[in-house]
Chain A
Amino acid sequence: MLRASAPGLERKVPDMDKPTDRGGPPADDADGLSAGPVENAEPRRGIARLLRATLARGRLLCAAIARIRLPYAVRRMLGMIPTLAFISIIIFVVIQLPPGDIVTSTLDRLQASGVEVSEEQVQNLRAQYNLDKHPALQYLHWIGGFVVGDMGYSYMFARPVNELIWERLGYTLLITISAMLFTWAVAVPLGIYSAVRQYSITDYTLTAIALVGLATPPFLLALVFLYVGFEVFGIPIGGLFSPEYREAPWSMERLGDLLTHLWIPMVVVGLGSTAVTMRILRANLLDELKKPYVVTARAKGVRPARLVLKYPFRIAINPFISTLGLQLPALVSGEAIVSIVLNLPTTGKMLLDALLAQDMYLAGSVVMLLAILILLGLLLSDLMLAWIDPRIRYE
């Protein structure tokens, strides 16, 4: 559904603008479906015809792509393009939805500090920010730049978005990926242990800890860490760097300093999903441990440790691999809240501020990059799943 309609939507926007842009009949756009000149007097019908034509062509294009025997991964990547186009439209619309824009929020701030702004200045501001243009043009301006790697200009920070994003996105990824690794490193052994020694004291203890971990909101945990760190150990643990390294250039010492600070957000962000992963792995494994093929392997003389890892674990792990890409958004949004509490230089806090200030280029680009990351994550988990489970075919 999504795939079939997305290319049409992607192309709808540019085409819809053409008649108003040029004010003439779009003769070169006419094909079999929209034959005949489109009169200026009835732009509505013209647009409808164009829309139909573009949709039809989009469908033809999709069919053509599907016929080409490309490697699965490449086909999937091509399939991501319409999805991303669709997502970009939604992002743009959603960010535009609240009343007002960057100018009104700037005006609010100025007026709050007692500065009077004339109507002319407001108009100038709007012109400067392209806000007097049609929304579709604004969208095109943003996405056109995005595609060629220029994410525009942040009015809030008065700096190019590219500059703002890259370092912060790096930290976001660092925290998210390390939280994920933490989750797996802790949850997998504990989950296996709890399943193999079901109803033992250790199993019950781990279950209790997991439930507490699950029930604790990450930001609360972050606050507890902050408090304990400061009161008991006398160290301020907010941020990703000690003050002396905050603005320093990269060096081994700075990296070491980063690592000593990284573990707290890593644990805080990862704890919830660690608890979930552990419990689900335990349940999956308990199901698999009773399956006949495990008994077969035991009857073959396979030793216990190898038995669990080679057979039931291989199958119990499947759902995790297939949701690897879906874990990413949860971790990213968890990271945003924690970053605000712990004062980390990641995209989370910046995204929130940008959204509040309706800084379209910044907010839109951050969300768009996260969407790309998530789609790539899903692709990666699909490829991994197909690689480890022979029952899954690419066709």
Chain B
Amino acid sequence: MTAPVLAIRDLAVEFKTDTGVTPALSGVSFDVPRGQVTAIVGESGSGKSVTANCVMRLVQPPGRITGGSIRFAPDAGDAFDVVKLADRDPRLYDLRGGHISMVFQEPMTALSPVHDIGGQVAEAILCHRDIGKEAARAEAAQMLERVGLDDMERRMGMYPFEFSGGMRQRVVIAMALVCHPEVLICDEPTTALDVTIQAEILTLIRSLQHELGNSVIFITHDLGVVAQIADHVVVMYQGRVLEIGTVRQVLKQPLHPYTRGLLQAIPGVVPPGERLATIASVVGDADIETPHPLVALADGRQVSLPPAQLRRVARS
């Protein structure tokens, strides 16, 4: 087993607002294994996107990383801590778009409305490699064909408003993959798309991952999507990690009451006509608000539970 491509330890982020300091992440730790798909699941505001933004150092004021480390181990070269990079460190700009890149939630707004598709994709190449504009555009065209666009002669010069949502998301994916990054972060890439397009995009991300062998961090609140795409799952709640394990472990035998709650809340789990379970009804009186340390279990999974429950889980 090779070393994980990303090792996040005790990551903490705060947002300073007029009413005080709100912690967005506290003590977030998990690994992203090389060449596999790690899903981060959780409800809105659980800190999934903030975690992803930290990896690329995209957290903007009033948000601030207040502690922890993100150790990035590139395929070639020395590992370094992303959190400690200075704002003007060239390694930071190599990292963004070069080693790690991101697919955003909203394909409608993630592309500049006044620049053509070809130029926007080619720019990612020009930021990282010393090649000519024409060569970059040619490579961009190849990558766009790979994500399923055709008629590139014409399409390269077209603008985002001339594309449908699904096509735009393909463009965003091409833009993210064009420099062959080691880690691709997908921040709810299918949330803004309709169901059939969702399936296409998921298949695309998965097949490109197989072809290119990159690691993927896939952020979603949809456990159905997790089952389709992920190898590993990280469950987050209120800026903390509750449970980590393989997709089979977490979805088949969730250890944390919150994870069980999430699974019960999927439409289709209860017979049609009945009310869906709410998190509160499944969690019951189990306390999920108090933070507990993540403890590694014998089967390689990690869970954050009160000591009493932890003992019970460990025995079984």
List the interface of chain A (C-beta within 8 A of B). Answer: 291-293, 295-303, 310-311, 314-315, 388-391
Contact = CB atoms under 8 A, between A and B. Distances in A.
B93 interface: yes
Contact of A293 (B93, B97, B101, B112): B112
B102 A299 contact: yes
Interface in B94-134: 94-98, 101-102, 104, 106, 109-116, 123-124, 127-128
A292 B109 contact: yes
29 contacts: A292-B104, A292-B106, A292-B109, A293-B111, A293-B112, A296-B111, A299-B96, A299-B102, A299-B176, A300-B96, A300-B97, A301-B93, A301-B95, A301-B98, A302-B97, A303-B127, A310-B115, A314-B112, A314-B114, A314-B115, A315-B113, A315-B114, A388-B114, A389-B114, A390-B116, A390-B159, A391-B113, A391-B159, A391-B161
B175 interface: yes
Most chain A CB atoms below 10 A, which of B106, B112, B124, B175:
B112
Contacts of A314: 112, 114-115
B253 to A, nearest CB: 36
Contact of A311 (B109, B112, B128): B112
Contact of A300 (B106, B114, B127, B159): B127
Contacts of A295: 58, 104, 110
Nearest to B128: A301
B242 interface: no
B217 interface: no
Contacts of B176: 299
B124 A301 contact: yes
B112 A297 contact: yes
B128 A296 contact: no
Interface of B: 56, 58, 93-98, 101-102, 104, 106, 109-116, 123-124, 127-128, 159, 161, 172, 175-176
Given A296-B110, A300-B96, A315-B112, 10 more contacts: A292-B106, A295-B104, A295-B110, A299-B96, A300-B101, A300-B127, A302-B97, A389-B114, A391-B113, A391-B159
A310 B112 CA distance: 10
Contacts of B98: 301
B93 A299 contact: no
B289 to A, nearest CB: 31
Contacts of B95: 301
Nearest to A294: B112
A300 to B, nearest CB: 4
A298 B57 CA distance: 10
Contacts of A292: 104, 106, 109-110
B196 to A, nearest CB: 24
A293 B116 CA distance: 13
B125 to A, nearest CB: 10
B106 A301 contact: no
A28 B120 CA distance: 63
Contacts of A301: 93-98, 124, 127-128
A300 B93 CA distance: 8
A301 B112 CA distance: 15
Those 10 A-B pairs whose CB atoms lie nearest each other, nearest first: A301-B97, A300-B97, A301-B96, A301-B127, A292-B109, A293-B112, A299-B102, A300-B124, A296-B110, A390-B159
B191 to A, nearest CB: 13
A302 B123 contact: yes
A131 to B, nearest CB: 56
Contacts of B102: 296, 299
Nearest to B127: A301
A383 B27 CA distance: 55
A286 to B, nearest CB: 13
B112 A299 contact: no
B50 to A, nearest CB: 13
B109 A299 contact: no
Contacts of A302: 97, 123, 127
B110 A300 contact: no
A296 B172 contact: yes
A390 B163 CA distance: 14
A388 B113 CA distance: 11
Residue of A292, A310, A315 with highest tally of chain B CB at under 10 A: A292
Contacts of B93: 301, 303
Nearest to B119: A310
Nearest to B111: A293
Contact of A298 (B96, B111, B114): B96
Contacts of B109: 291-293
Nearest to B185: A299
A333 to B, nearest CB: 33
B52 to A, nearest CB: 10
A254 B57 CA distance: 58
Contacts of A310: 115
A296 B109 CA distance: 9
Contacts of A293: 109-113
A298 B58 CA distance: 8
